[in-house]
Amino acid sequence: MSEPLRYGLIGTGMMGLEHQRNLNAISDAVVVAAADPSAESLQWSQFTAEGRDLATFEDYRELLRADLCDVYVISSPNFTHRAVLDDVMATGRAILVEKPLCTTVADAAAIRDAAADYPGVFWVGLEYRYMPPVHRAIEIAQSGELGTLAMVAIREHRHPFLVKVGNWNRFNENTGGTLVEKCCHFFDLMRHIAQSTPVAVTAMGAHSVNHLDELYDGRVPDILDNAFVVVEFDNGVRASLDLCMFAEGTAHNEELSIVGDRGKVEAFLPSGLLRRGQRSGWTTGVEESIVTDDRVLVEGFHHGASFLEHLDLIAAVRAGTPALVTADDGFWSVVMGAAAHRAIDERRVVLVEELL
């Protein structure tokens, strides 16, 4: 048997450690190196290594020069992605870059173009596709069971942004804005389900509750904490997002609804509930089930999605096949988020072609 793939972590904050915990449970992977300018974050990665040998570096470029790894996971702050990717792509090794791909459309376009002929696997961490009930709902929608798709609705009602090192995620200039930083996941789901290109976006949103009492160098955070977004696709599918980040008092943090001309499917998290029905059945024809995936050994922060994502990434690296979640997917999710922010700022419908 071949040796396990050697992973290097660039960024060992919350998501870096999430990846490390998942990889620790996969026999065909071993985390051998980590880089982060925060000494505390590196200490946490040493602890998370669970006794395995781990080379640590303050500067990720030192990690690259050491040439220890087959796969690099980039989970550094959003605003660093473009520069880090430029350096990591020079190695030709497999890459998993956390969402968002970049914080601006221009940078995301540059990376997408560079990835088009990249020799290694280039994977974007839009892992919500892998959440078991969401994945099953998408399978049902794309099987034709629902007929011709017409509407997709996503609701996320959750807690505020988490604490990050230096609270870098409190400002749009660092994150790309809430609708890029957080909601690129949902825009990716919309596009993946619709199997179409977004053409127009409209939105309303505000910074209403969270972080208003915080100051950083005299500045109050400017990230949105609630929004409604509607996206139109060129095949006629319409999709909506209902986001509230001060809604801890809720049973389901995420809800997905997909409706066609013959039926409807819904997925709910964290319960894992899947609900499906045909139009002819009215309420009596609705079936409910709890969807899980027996392959998941680590639930983590994303209901096992990160674990399943790594299984597919490893399979792609071993087989020399393309990523299933590509730089193009990452690009479009940033475009849609940026268009939503522009729609809010300018109080109008934004044509996606304006950003391209």
83 token code pair: 């520069």
pLDDT digits (tens, 9 = 90+) for 166-176: 899 999 999 99
- Per the document, the length of the chain is 356
| Gap between the Cα atoms of 261 and 278, Å rounded | 9
Pairing mode of beta strands 71-74, 94-98: parallel
> H/E/C letters for each residue in 110-141?
HHHHHHCCCCCCEEEECHHHHCHHHHHHHHHH
pLDDT digits (tens, 9 = 90+) for 43-89: 999 999 999 999 999 999 999 999 999 999 999 999 999 999 999 99
| Gap between the Cα atoms of 207 and 245, Å rounded | 10
Q: What is the DSSP string of 283-299?
A: GGG-EEEE---TT-S--
- Averaged pLDDT, 348-354: 98
Is residue 201 scored above 90 in pLDDT? Answer: yes
What is the reported pLDDT for 87?
A: 98
Residue 282: which pLDDT band, with cuts at 50, 70 and 90? low
The residues spanned by each domain of the chain are: 5-125+308-325, 129-297+332-355
What is the reported pLDDT for 49?
A: 94
> H/E/C letters for each residue in 171-215?
CHHHHCCHHHHCCHHHHHHHHHHHCCCEEEEEEEEECCCCCCCCC
What is the reported pLDDT for 1?
A: 53
Its pTM stands at 0.96
Kindly state which CATH superfamily the domain 5-125+308-325 is placed in.
NAD(P)-binding Rossmann-like Domain (3.40.50.720)
CATH match of 129-297+332-355 with 3.30.360.10: yes
Write the CA distances from 321 to 94, 123, 232, 316, 324, integer angstroms: 11, 11, 32, 5, 9
Mean pLDDT of the chain: 96
